[in-house]
Amino acid sequence: MAAEKQNIMMFSLKIRVFIALQLYRFAYTLAMVPAVLCLPLLRRYSRRLREGISDYLGFVSPIAERPSFWVHGVSMGESMVSAGFAVELKKRFPEHQIVFTTTHPEVLAMVKKRHIADAVAYFPLDNFLTMANAFRRWKPEAVFVAETDFWPEFSWQCYSRKVPLVLINGRLSSKLASFYASFKGLSEIIFSSYTLLLVQSEIDCCRLKSIGVDQSRIKVLGNMKADLTVTKAAGDMTDFVNWLAGRRCVVFGSLHPQEFDMLKMLFVSLVERGIAVIVAPRNLADTKRWHAELKQMLVKVAFRSDMSAQSSFSLMILDSMGELASIYGLASAAFVGGTLDSRVGGHNPLEVMQRKAPLLVGPYCRNFADIISQLCACDGVIVCNSAKETEIAIDRLLTDPELARRQVESAEAVLENSRGVLEKTMLEVEGLL
C-alpha cells in the first residue's frame, strides 16, 4: 500500500513538472516574439547581439571530438569564480576541453584573452531548440554553474541527457528562495536536475531545503572567492597612483542609482576636504548621468577613460570594467554598494577584504549574510544605515589609523578562515566524475 502511494506521488510530481516545463516553454517563446521582430534595431544598440547572435541561437563554436566540460558564469563576479574553477578543472582533467559561457561581453573578452577555455560563447537563449543546438555541438560530460544563475530549459536538458549538473560556490538569496517557493513546478524542473549543489553557507543550504531540495545533494563548503585572491594588481595602477599624488582615497564600488542619490552630497563633502573619491557604478549606463549631475554641483569630476587627458580633478567615475578590485587596494576606506538599496541585497565584500582596505557596507547584505555576520562579530566591517552614518564612519577611519588597522586585520582573519573552498570543490567534483 505504501509503495502504491509513493508511485502515485511520483506520477503526480512528473505530471506537475511536465506541465510546468511546457508552460515555461510557451511563455518564453511568446516573450521572444517582440524581440525577434525588433532584432534589426536591437542589434544596432546591443554589443551582445552584434557579437553573439549565433551563440544565442545555440550555434556555438564547434570543438574537437574530445570529452568536454561546460562552465558557466553569468556576470563579472560569478565569472571570477567560474574562470578560476575552469583553470583548476583543466589541471585536474587535462584530457578534457573546457567550454565557457557568460552573458557579459567584458567577461567573454577576458576569458578569450587569457585562453582559459577551448571555446567561449554567450549563453544561449533558454528555449528547447537553442539549448539542444548547444548541447549537440559541445556534448559536455558535465556542466558547472557558478553561484546563482538558474535556467529551467538548460537544467532540463542536462537532466534529460543524463549530464551531471553541478552548482559551484552556490548561493540563494531570500528573494529567489521566495520566488521558487511560489512556483513549485519551476523549482522542481531546475533543482531536481542538479546532481550536486555546493553552496557558500548554511543559510543557502536552509533556503534550498525550504523549497524542497533533497539535503543529500547539498554541501556547504564556503565562499570560493576567498581562494581566488589576486595578490598582484590585475592592471597597471600607475595612472591612479600619479593622480592620487599622496592623497587619501575613498572608493564607492558597485553603486546603484538610489545609492548615488543618497551619497552624492557626501562625495562633495569629501572632495572639499581634499580627499580623492572614486565612484564605480554597478551599471556603466549610469556614468553619463552621474557625471552631469556632479558637474552641476561644481565638482571637478572626470571619467577614468579621460584620466590621461585630465589630471586636475578630485572625483573619478570608473567607466571601465575589471579594475575595481585592484583600485580597492588604493583605498583608505571602501564602501560596497547594493547595501543601501533594500531591493539589491548587497554585492561581494571579499574584493575589499582581499585588498586590505577598511570595509563599509549598508544594512542590506542578505546576499552575503554569512560573511557579513562573521565580520560584524569581530569588528571587521562598519555597517552604515544612512549617508550620514557613512560619513561619520569614513571620518573615524580616516582620523584613526589604529581603528582602520584593527578592522583590516579582523577582516583578514575571516578571509583566512574561508580559504580552501576551491580544493574542497575539486575533491567533490573528482568524487562525482
pLDDT in tens, the chain (433 residues): 444 444 443 445 578 788 888 999 999 889 888 877 776 776 676 777 788 789 999 999 989 999 999 999 887 667 778 999 999 999 999 999 999 999 888 788 888 988 999 999 999 999 999 999 999 999 999 999 999 889 999 999 999 999 999 999 999 988 899 999 999 889 999 999 999 999 998 989 999 999 999 999 999 998 888 887 554 445 688 889 999 999 999 999 999 999 999 999 999 999 999 999 999 999 999 999 999 999 999 899 999 998 875 668 999 999 998 899 999 999 999 999 999 999 988 988 988 999 999 999 999 998 788 789 889 999 999 999 999 999 999 999 999 999 999 999 999 999 888 889 999 999 999 999 8
Q: Which fold has domain 50-223+421-432?
A: Rossmann fold (3.40.50)
Q: Could you tell me the CA-to-CA distances from 295 to 251, 263, 306, 409 in Å, in that order?
A: 19, 15, 15, 38
Q: Do domains 50-223+421-432 and 238-417 have the same CATH topology?
A: yes
CB 315 within 8 A of CB 224: no
φ, ψ for residue 97 (rounded to 5)? -90, 150
SS3 call for 71: strand
Residues 43 and 92: their CA atoms lie apart, in Å, by 40
Query: In sequence order, what are the beta bridge partners of 88?
Result: none
Q: Could you tell me the CA-to-CA distances from 395 to 173, 349, 411 in Å, in that order?
A: 32, 20, 19
Angle at 251 between CA 248 and CA 253, to 5 degrees: 175
Q: Which amino acid is at 104?
A: H
Q: Which fold has domain 238-417?
A: Rossmann fold (3.40.50)
CB 187 within 8 A of CB 161: no
Q: Which strands sit side by side in the sheet containing 119-122, from one edge to the other?
A: 119-122, 97-102, 68-72, 142-146, 165-170, 196-199, 218-220
This prediction's pTM: 0.75
From 87, 89, 157, 162, select the one nearest 126 (Cα to Cα): 157
Domain ranges (residues) in the chain: 50-223+421-432, 238-417
Amino acid 368: pLDDT: 80
Q: Which residue has the cell 543601501?
A: 340
DSSP string covering 365-407: -GGGHHHHHHHHHTT--EE-SSHHHHHHHHHHHHH-HHHHHHH
